[in-house]
């Protein structure tokens, strides 16, 4: 019986020893896991801080590159804004290996993009410097030519005024006279007022190579002895001038001398007066020729 009790005691001691060992092992493992977790969390925080620092450095490089240009490169501005957005997102993100690795991948992609953009920006700066040098040289040349150009402009303006003044049509051989109109259409000149059916006005348009060919018109004015304007007696205004005309004489000018004749008819139930008649030809508002004749 005594031996049986001793055996039981030994078994209990062994079991107790195993339990103690297990408890110690569990405590050690738990402690190790706790320390490892703290260490991992610290590493994640450190890694996150490094990524944030790299992103901030990248944003500063973009700020410098943008600040060097009077006109900011749109690509640089857009890339900088994406980096700032990534920084804001990372600052509030969870501290996990998966999350940190995702941000690291984005950083590496942005870093590669930044190298390309900054290289492109440097190339543009060199081109702009060369362009600025070229523009300075061009500016000097332009300034040297300005005096010459101004002189030419003054001469050309003076010449244009001369040409404009000379580029007008004029007339010669202006004649007015009474005519008898036969039923056959035959015209017989007459100086008798009572026999005059119509007044015929003829003139020659002189050649002027400065005038472009095409349809033209003169205004004919016939004034009778009582100072009345015969014909349609219509009005037209040029600037501050008002012209009363008898008819509009239209013709096609082809850069050569051209003979033109027109007819003035007396008012209904009226005849032509005896006395002196004045014939004027106007080109727009300007008198180009005039003559007179008498009906007896």
pLDDT tens profile 154-184: 554 554 444 445 568 889 999 999 999 998 8
Across 30-34, 131-135, 208-212, 262-266, least confident range: 30-34
Residue 87's pLDDT band (cuts 50, 70, 90): confident
**What is d(CA 233, CA 97) in angstroms, rounded to the nearest whole number?**
103
Closest CA to 281 of 255, 243, 253: 243
Write down the pLDDT at residue 129: 63
- As given in the structure block, the two tokens for residue 69 are 């240009």
Domains identified in the chain, total number: 2
266 falls within a domain: yes
Position with higher pLDDT, 211 vs 107: 211
Report in angstroms the alpha-carbon separations of 57 from 62, 91, 111, 288: 9, 15, 11, 85
Same domain (yes/no): 25, 117: yes
Q: What pTM, to 2 d.p., does this model score? A: 0.47
Closest CA to 60 of 37, 79, 41: 79
Q: What percent of the chain has pLDDT over 70?
A: 50
Convert the pLDDT of each residue in 108-147 to its tens digit: 666 666 666 666 665 556 555 656 566 666 676 666 666 6
**What is d(CA 48, CA 107) in angstroms, rounded to the nearest whole number?**
12
Range of the domain at 179: 171-295
109 falls within a domain: yes
Closest CA to 292 of 239, 227, 191, 223: 223
Host H or E run for residue 46: helix 2-67
Last residue of a domain, one of 69, 101, 125: 125
Q: List Cβ neighbours of 59 (8 Å cut-off, separation of 6 or more).
A: 80, 83, 84, 87
- As given in the structure block, the two tokens for residue 121 are 């920006």
**What is d(CA 51, CA 39) in angstroms, rounded to the nearest whole number?**
18
Last residue of a domain, one of 125, 153, 182: 125
């Amino acid at each position: 019986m005594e031996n049986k009790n001793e055996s039981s005691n030994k078994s209990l001691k062994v079991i107790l020893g195993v339990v103690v060992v297990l408890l110690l092992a569990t405590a050690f493992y738990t402690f190790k896991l706790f320390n490892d977790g703290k260490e991992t969390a610290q590493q994640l925080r450190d890694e996150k801080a490094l990524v944030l620092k790299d992103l901030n450095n990248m944003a500063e490089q973009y700020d410098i590159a943008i600040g060097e240009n009077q006109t900011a490169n749109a690509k640089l501005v857009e890339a900088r804004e994406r980096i700032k957005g990534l920084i804001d997102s990372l600052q509030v993100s969870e501290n996990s290996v998966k999350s940190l690795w995702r941000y690291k991948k984005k950083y590496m992609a942005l870093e590669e993009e930044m190298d390309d953009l900054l290289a492109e920006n440097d190339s543009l700066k060199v081109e702009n410097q060369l362009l600025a040098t070229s523009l300075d040289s061009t500016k000097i040349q332009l300034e040297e030519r300005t005096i010459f150009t101004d002189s030419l402009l003054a001469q050309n303006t003076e010449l244009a005024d001369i040409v404009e003044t000379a580029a007008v049509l004029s007339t010669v051989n202006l004649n007015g006279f009474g005519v008898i109109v036969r039923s056959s259409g035959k015209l017989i000149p007459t100086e008798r007022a009572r026999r005059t059916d119509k007044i015929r006005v003829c003139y020659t348009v002189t050649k002027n190579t400065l005038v472009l060919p095409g349809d033209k018109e003169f205004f004919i004015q016939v004034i009778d002895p009582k100072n009345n304007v015969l014909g349609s007696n219509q009005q037209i205004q040029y600037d501050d001038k008002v012209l009363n005309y008898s008819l509009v004489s239209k013709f096609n000018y082809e850069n050569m001398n051209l003979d033109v004749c027109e007819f003035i008819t007396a008012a209904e139930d009226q005849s032509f007066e005896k006395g002196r008649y004045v014939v004027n030809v106007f080109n727009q508002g300007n008198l180009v020729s005039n003559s007179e004749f008498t009906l007896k």
